[in-house]
Amino acid sequence: MAAPENSAIKLNTAITRTQNLGHSGTGTDHFIYQRVSALALVPLLLWLVASLIASGGEYTALLQWLQQPWQSILLLCLIIAISWHSILGLQVIIEDYIQTEWLKLSSLLVMKFIFWFIVIAAAFLVLKIAL
């Protein structure tokens, strides 16, 4: 990815540019999505905790809870928001602490595969209970 030529401050030297180092020109969207998903998670998590306590963890109570359409819709929203938030957060942690390039990239891949699997599997199970 080439650095924008018209950027006001050039932090890169000529050699770091040819080595493809320095800023990528992207990343603001990552910052914003992290916060947007956080905002959505505040009410959703309070709702989840309250609902779980209300059910008492009992089998029939949990099923009855999830068979109400709006409740399962909210749980689907929560699943997407929390997984998205986790993916973004873990991505930062992996990028911060893993220096070796191939290990960093493969960790990111594995992490994203696992979490997208969780999103799809959890959504399927919620629908299975609800429908």
Partner 1 sequence: MSQLRPMRPLSPHLQIYHLPLTAKFSIIHRASGIILSLGLPLWLYALYCLTQGEAVWHNLQVYLLSGFGVSALMVYVFCLFYHLCNGIRHLFWDMNLGLDLKTAKYSNWAVLLGSLGLTLVVFLGA
Q: Which residues bind partner 1 (CB under 8 A)?
A: 15, 35, 38-39, 41-42, 45, 49, 52-53, 56-57, 59-60, 62-63, 66, 82-83, 86, 89-90, 93, 114-115, 118, 121-122, 125-126, 128-129
User: Rounded to 5 degrees, what are φ and ψ at 36?
Assistant: -65, -45
Alpha-carbon gap, residue 59 to 47, rounded angstroms: 19
Q: Cβ closer to partner 1: 5 or 14?
A: 14
In the complex, the smallest distance separating the C-beta of residue 6 from partner 1, rounded to whole angstroms, is 26
In the complex, the smallest distance separating the C-beta of residue 110 from partner 1, rounded to whole angstroms, is 13
